[in-house]
Amino acid sequence: MAVFSQTDFADHEQVVFVSDDKSGLKAIIAVHNSNLGPALGGCRMWPYASEDEAIRDVLRLSRGMTYKSAMAKLALGGGKSVIIGDPRTDKTPELLAAFARAVERLDGRYIAAEDSGTSVADMKTMAQHTRHVAGIVDKPTGEGMRSGDPSPATAYGVFVGIRAAVEERLGRASLAGLRVAVQGVGNVGFDLARQLREAGAELWVTDIHRDALTRAGRELGATVVAPEEIFGLEVDVFAPCALGAVINDQTLPRLKAKIVAGAANNQLAEPRHGAELFRRGVLYAPDYVINAGGIIDVCYERTGFDRAAVMAHIEGIHDNLMAVFARARREERPTGEVADAIAEERFRR
């Protein structure tokens, strides 16, 4: 089992292996970089097929958080943790407590938040054993904000980001009549679709859950299509809001959209797919730049939740993207590469 020679090892500051016999905890906490602040990132619980797979995941995801927070101009570094196990059968209060104690021992260098396989309720359980969890504070609700849940903030950020991409690629400020295909109408996708609809966009949606689709069709007047059909539609924007690696060798040649801008993490199967989008004149809004609303929201909770300040910071995603687009145009480089360069300039300074 290699760590330093893993392709995903990228000069990580600290990788901690945690185990607790009594509760059966096996976890890895990775702090990628803390130059800009404490490393905040989700705690994922997943039944990894091998320990190698868990290490790869935590190395890759923690590095991604450094780039995301740096691009969002937050005083945060990048970290992530993984608990090896099935969240449906292996998650117990004892296991969460043992994990939280390990987080506490890092003395604030890593701050945990919910992720796949963990919930706001789990974070609240952990908070009884460590001060270093985020995403648990009850926020003022209303206007789409829900306590602890970062999805509405993420959706708003993606909406703001689509505006930026439309300005850049289509040269217009209004979203009226914009044709958008949304892949996945879950927590983020549905809220995004609703905002697009309110701004006058025409929507196509898909999902693998029939209930989610029916609701989107009924409440948003969206045209419902089968999962495979979403890629080839004659639309302006393709908004991936379901899963990663959706821009790949199979889907990319079918895309007719001029813009790819959505919430999903790791949308490009490989960096070369970003280069191919660029070559074809498709504007790609780098995923970690456009989907930073959630981390911005979680970050503000640590300094006292000020709704107006959060919204203003999320709206900054517009300018962050415009800066990426402008430099990509100037340097004739794919937007993903340019975003990485800007983030590195910030966190390596």
Catalytic residue among 22, 26, 68, 80: 80
Interface pick for ligand NAD out of 121, 176, 243, 309 (rule CB under 6 A) = 243
Q: Is the separation of the CB atoms in 230 and 223 below 8 Å?
A: no
**CB proximity list for 332: less than 8 A, separation 6 or greater:** none
Listed ranges 14-22, 160-168, 195-203, 208-216: which one lies at the site for ligand NAD (CB under 6 A): 208-216
Residues 128-167 that bind ligand NAD (CB under 6 A): 150-151, 154
Interface pick for ligand NAD out of 64, 79, 117, 294 (rule CB under 6 A) = 294
Listed ranges 4-12, 23-31, 124-132, 235-243: which one lies at the site for ligand NAD (CB under 6 A): 235-243
Cα torsion 63, 67, 68, 74 to 10°: value is 110
Listed ranges 139-147, 163-171, 205-213, 250-258: which one lies at the site for ligand NAD (CB under 6 A): 205-213
- What one-letter code names the amino acid at 167? E
Q: Is the separation of the CB atoms in 96 and 51 below 8 Å?
A: no
Interface pick for ligand NAD out of 27, 134, 259, 263 (rule CB under 6 A) = 263
Query: In the complex, which residue's CB is closest to ligand NAD?
Result: 186
Interface pick for ligand NAD out of 6, 105, 265, 305 (rule CB under 6 A) = 265
HSE, side-chain direction, 13 A CA sphere, residue 48: 17
Taking the C-alpha atoms of residue 288 and residue 71, their distance in angstroms, rounded to an integer, is 8
Q: How far is the CB of 122 from ligand NAD (least distance, A)?
A: 15
Q: Is 209 in the site for ligand NAD (CB under 6 A)?
A: yes
Q: How far is the CB of 94 from ligand NAD (least distance, A)?
A: 27
Taking the C-alpha atoms of residue 201 and residue 196, their distance in angstroms, rounded to an integer, is 5
- What one-letter code names the amino acid at 26? K
Q: How far is the CB of 293 from ligand NAD (least distance, A)?
A: 7
Q: How far is the CB of 149 from ligand NAD (least distance, A)?
A: 7
* 124 catalytic residue (yes or no): no
Binding stretches for ligand NAD (CB under 6 A):
150-151, 154, 183-189, 206-209, 212, 227, 241-243, 263-265, 291, 294
Q: Which residues are catalytic?
A: 80
